[in-house]
Amino acid sequence: MLSLKLPQLLQVHQIPRVFWEDGIMSGYRRPTSSALDCVLSSFQMTNETVNIWTHFLPTCSMSPRARHICYFLDYGALSLYSLGCAFPYAAYSMPASWLHGRLHQLFVPAAALNSFLCTGLACYSRFPELESPGLSKILRTAAFAYPFLFDNLPLFYRLGLCWGRSHNCGQEALSTNHGYHLLCALLTGFLFASHLPERLAPGRFDYIGHSHQLFHICAVLGTHFQLEAVLADMGSRRAWLAMQEPALGLAGTVATLSLAVAGNLLIIAAFTTSLFRAPSTCPLLQGGLLEAGTKAKHQ
């Protein structure tokens, strides 16, 4: 009979200090745990087990309203991610001719305003989802395509300057990771909008290989290449950037981010309030019943 031995738990003095948690003295997993040990540890009492399983608590109350609110929060997080991209681009990836120009000065504030537009448009796109699914899809795609295009304007400009040149572009030269990031971003958008490959073979990709899974993989890879590209810009342009005055200091960065977070939370709160004010007979809150009735009429 197959038997699996649960991983041994360690005391705080048995693990490197970097893994210590204040006031937690026992129940630590081995830092070099294998993948199997990590899975098995989810079913034994460690000092992380409750943390792991409490992540599933929200699934116990997934009403239609709660589902929409979770999407609202997801849209807000994506909007703030687009703003987060603007900070390093403004600091390290701007074209030389844009430095201290009006676009450079307004780049981050405009990205903050874009995050409001992105969150508002994406949240609104859930309301016509049943009556006009095509319109809903267009609105949601536009809500995230526009901030992406805006954030990457410095890269598109630098790419245009260096396109077809055989000689060195100097400070405008792009890392290959920038290209990989843009490719992954385009694939992410394509998969989100096209629903391929499951649209070509309905039922074949229900569990593995459908567009949303591929969408996540491309998004993660794109984020990795984006970070590597920014680090490459920071390294290759360090001496040159050291002589330039930063467009946004620490105080301005913190203030912009704080206002963006507050503004996005207010937008989410407004749409959440409209959900709670909607009657229970609202189609938005009766999606399953409405779709079932529609299918029955066509049969």
pLDDT tens-digit readout, 48-78: 888 788 777 766 676 778 888 989 999 999 9
Query: Does residue 293 have a pLDDT over 50?
Result: no
pLDDT band at 296 (very low <50, low <70, confident <90, very high): very low
Q: Does residue 164 carry a pLDDT above 80?
A: no
Q: Which of 51, 76, 70 is nearest to 267 (CA)?
A: 76
Q: With cut-offs at 50, 70 and 90, classify the pLDDT of residue 81.
A: very high
pTM of the model: 0.74
pLDDT (mean) for 249-262: 91
Section 5-23 average pLDDT = 83
Asked, for residue 294, whether it belongs to a domain, the answer is no
**Where is pLDDT greater, at 122 or 207?**
122
In a domain, 137, yes or no: yes
Instruction: Give the model confidence (pLDDT) of 90-117 as tens digits.
Output: 988 988 888 888 888 899 999 999 999 9
Co-location of 212 and 234 in the same domain: yes
Residue 237 located in a structural domain: yes
Whether 85 and 152 share a structural domain: yes
Mean pLDDT, range 136-151, rounded to an integer:
93
Say yes or no: 164 and 85 in one domain.
yes
Higher pLDDT, residue 297 or 200? 200
* Domain-embedded: residue 60: no
pLDDT of 137 > 60? The answer is yes
Total of domains in the chain: 2
Residue with more model confidence, 197 or 170: 197
Asked if 129 contacts 136 with a C-beta cutoff of 8 angstroms, the reply is yes
Shortest CA distance to 13 belongs to which of 5, 1, 25?
25
Same domain? 25 vs 123: no
Q: Which of the four pLDDT bands, split at 50, 70 and 90, describes residue 168?
A: low
Q: Do residue 74 and residue 47 come from a single domain?
A: no
Q: Is 10 helix (H, G, I), strand (E, B) or coil?
A: strand
Q: Is the pLDDT of residue 179 over 60?
A: yes
CA distances from 175 to 171, 186, 231, 232 (A): 11, 18, 10, 7
Question: Is the model's pLDDT at 181 over the cut of 80?
Answer: yes
The verdict on residue 295 lying in a domain is no
Residues 240 and 92 in one domain: yes
Could you tell me if 159 and 174 are in contact, meaning their C-beta atoms sit under 8 angstroms apart?
A: yes
> Are residues 244 and 283 both part of a single domain?
yes
**Whether residues 45 and 109 fall in one domain:** no
For residues 246 and 105, give the distance between their C-alpha atoms in angstroms, rounded to a whole number.
10
pLDDT in tens, 207-231: 888 998 998 999 999 999 999 999 9
Residues 169 and 200 in one domain: yes
> What is the pLDDT, as a whole number, of residue 38?
82
Say which residue, 208 or 5, is predicted with more confidence: 208
Domain holding 51, by residue range, is: 12-55
**Residue 102 maps to a domain:** yes
- The verdict on 128 and 218 lying in the same domain is yes
Task: Provide the total of helices (H) and of strands (E) in the chain, helices listed first.
Answer: 11, 0
Whether residue 41 sits in one domain with residue 79: no
Asked if residue 123 has pLDDT above 90, the reply is: yes
**Percent of the chain residues topping a pLDDT of 90:** 37
pLDDT of res. 149: 94
* Mean pLDDT (whole number) for 196-212: 88
Helix, strand, coil shares of the chain as percentages rounded to 5? 70, 0, 30
Q: Assess contact for 65 and 275: CB atoms under 8 A.
A: yes
- Does residue 36 sit within a domain? yes
**Average pLDDT of the segment spanning 121-125:** 95
What's the whole-number mean pLDDT along residues 23-42? 84
Q: Is residue 138, in this structure, part of any structural domain at all?
A: yes
Mean per-residue pLDDT of the chain: 84
Quote the pLDDT of residue 246: 65
- 41 and 128 within one domain: no
Residue 36's pLDDT band (boundaries 50, 70, 90)? Answer: confident
